[in-house]
A and B are shown apart, each in its own frame.
Chain A
Amino acid sequence: MSTVAESNIKLTPEHDAHPTASVRARLQDLLPKIVLAPSFAATIIFVYGFILWTIYLSFTNSKTFPSYDITGARAYQRLWRWTFESDPPSSWYTSITNMGIFGFLYILICLALGLFLAILLDQKIRGEGVLRPIYLYPMALSFIVTGVAWKWFLDPGLGLEQTLHQWGWTSFHFDWIKNKDFVIYTVVIAGVWQASGFIMAMFLAGLRGIDGEIMKAAQIDGATTFQLYRRIVIPLLRPVFLSAFIVLAHLAIKSYDLVVALTSGGPGGSAWLPSNFMYEFTFKRNEMAVGSASAVIMLMTIAAIMVPYIYSETREQNR
């Protein structure tokens, strides 16, 4: 008891004796908070505030300009109706089916190709330092550049088809980029070209992190190379699969610029993704409420993917 009281007595006069020092100490404590405050405030307003504003707008009757009269879930009802309107397909129906096709193929091919290239590169390859950046560089390009480069490359009149015709293969036909049923697959090609190298790097890091002793033990037990990868390496890479999936899934849902640069929306909007739908309806077709509703649906989709991931991550950290 007495020691506590003594120390209290001792501490208090010191504070009084050097008021400037205490102000400085307090300032030093506060400084990180002061420095971070503007960006914190900006995030609160411009990210979360505008998310709330978008949710609010989706329940109003906003057309060209935001309106603040709440009219209920009309925009969602329209989207719900359009979801099943497949003959002729509404642009919302096209957007979400495209999202399904693009998301599925993009994630699957990127994972498969990335893993395949990583395994090949991990076989004590000479010149690995040259090959790795070649696979990786597309990730450094913006989606607009990728889109323009592939638009050029896939154009039937200028690109691959024309070139092969000149080389003598005149029956060659490849006009997916102009075909409303196949245009979404050209977006997959360009997207995979851009992201698979990055996924390769993720898998390569995972492969290099695997303990060589495990591999040796399996080989001594007589496992073939195929068995080794099928039964040991790929199961060990599970966390990499999960991270790669998260990266690819959010890239797929956010894709907007790739569709615009590569196809300008495709013939009759046949290459639209939900993000293109959102932009077109909000800013071009004067249907701000419907655009906001589709944005909210996209946010919910991303949340459905991200929240379980973040939850499992934090739970593992706490353990």
Chain B
Amino acid sequence: MNAADLITSTPARRGPGHSRTTRIVIYGLLLLFALVYLVPLLVMVMTSLKPLDEVTGGNMFALPRHLTFAPWSMAWGEARIGVSDTRGIVARNKARIEELRGATPATRLQPGVGCVSGPPTLMRAILATSTRALRTKSAGEIEPLQ
């Protein structure tokens, strides 16, 4: 008999029957803990079905007033794990990156970028431009790569 069998087998009748109050306390505790274990899941599911203003402005436990499945289709169709943050930046700075990729004389580069050469230059340039892009526009506003 393995552990799974032990758990699923019907409990052996044992011990004296509990009094009514004891039963109520036992069931109460069990249900309370069941609720504690379920709440994070329920909150996640309900939040995923709410529009954004209800998420940020509303109550965590409130049922969604306007049911939306848009986040689910977005997660399925659009989200790209690990690259979603950079593609907007790449699109915005495509010309500059292309320019840097070619053998560009240091003088033509932005001041502060063109002091070094080689692959690190490209990385540093992307970093510099991306921080600038993030400073001028919040991350949410960067349009996705077409």
Nearest B-chain residue to A149, judged by Cβ: B40
B13–A134 contact, CB under 8 A?
no
Q: In the complex, A1 Cα to B4 Cα: how many Å?
A: 55
A208–B7 contact, CB under 8 A?
yes
Q: In the complex, A121 Cα to B12 Cα: how many Å?
A: 12
Interchain nearest-CB distance for A48 vs B (Å): 30
B34–A134 contact, CB under 8 A?
yes
Residue from B4, B30, B36 with most neighbouring chain A CB atoms (10 Å) = B30
Residue of B15, B30, B36, B38 near A125 (CB, 8 A) is: B30
Asked if B139 is an interface residue, CB under 8 A from chain A, the answer is no
Residues from chain B with a CB closer than 8 A to the CB of A153 are: 39-40, 43, 60
Interface residues on B, range: 20 to 34
Interchain nearest-CB distance for B104 vs A (Å): 26
Residues from chain A with a CB closer than 8 A to the CB of B107 are: none
Q: In the complex, A198 Cα to B39 Cα: how many Å?
A: 18
Asked if A212 is an interface residue, CB under 8 A from chain B, the answer is yes
Which residues, 1 to 53 on B, are CB-close (under 8 Å) to A?
Answer: 1, 3-4, 6-7, 9, 11-16, 18, 26-27, 29-30, 33-34, 36-41, 43-44, 47
B11–A208 contact, CB under 8 A?
yes
B60–A163 contact, CB under 8 A?
yes
B44–A117 contact, CB under 8 A?
no
Which residues, 93 to 136 on A, are CB-close (under 8 Å) to B?
Answer: 117, 120-125, 128, 131-132, 134-135
Q: How many residues of A contact B (CB 8 A)?
A: 41
Residues from chain A with a CB closer than 8 A to the CB of B38 are: 134
B15–A123 contact, CB under 8 A?
yes
Interface of A is mostly: helix
Asked if A209 is an interface residue, CB under 8 A from chain B, the answer is yes
Residues from chain B with a CB closer than 8 A to the CB of A160 are: 60
B43–A149 contact, CB under 8 A?
yes
A137–B60 contact, CB under 8 A?
no
Interchain nearest-CB distance for B40 vs A (Å): 4
Q: Known contacts A138-B37, A205-B7: does B29 contact A120 (CB below 8 Å)? A: yes
A117–B59 contact, CB under 8 A?
no
Nearest B-chain residue to A215, judged by Cβ: B14
Asked if A159 is an interface residue, CB under 8 A from chain B, the answer is yes
Residues from chain B with a CB closer than 8 A to the CB of A76 are: none
A202–B18 contact, CB under 8 A?
no
Nearest A-chain residue to B38, judged by Cβ: A134
Residue from A131, A162, A208 with most neighbouring chain B CB atoms (10 Å) = A208
Q: Known contacts A124-B13, A212-B14: does B59 contact A163 (CB below 8 Å)? A: yes
Residue of A124, A135, A137, A216 near B11 (CB, 8 A) is: A124
Residues from chain B with a CB closer than 8 A to the CB of A152 are: 43-44, 47
Asked if B61 is an interface residue, CB under 8 A from chain A, the answer is yes
Asked if A271 is an interface residue, CB under 8 A from chain B, the answer is no
Q: In the complex, A159 Cα to B47 Cα: how many Å?
A: 11
Residues from chain A with a CB closer than 8 A to the CB of B12 are: 208, 212
A193–B40 contact, CB under 8 A?
yes
Q: In the complex, A193 Cα to B38 Cα: how many Å?
A: 10
Q: In the complex, A267 Cα to B47 Cα: how many Å?
A: 26
Residues from chain A with a CB closer than 8 A to the CB of B60 are: 153, 158-160, 162-163
A158–B56 contact, CB under 8 A?
yes
Asked if A273 is an interface residue, CB under 8 A from chain B, the answer is no
- List chain B positions with a Cβ less than 8 A from chain A: 1, 3-4, 6-7, 9, 11-16, 18, 26-27, 29-30, 33-34, 36-41, 43-44, 47, 55-56, 59-61
Complex A-B: 11 CB contacts under 8 Å = A121-B30, A152-B44, A153-B39, A153-B43, A158-B55, A160-B60, A163-B59, A193-B36, A193-B40, A204-B7, A205-B7
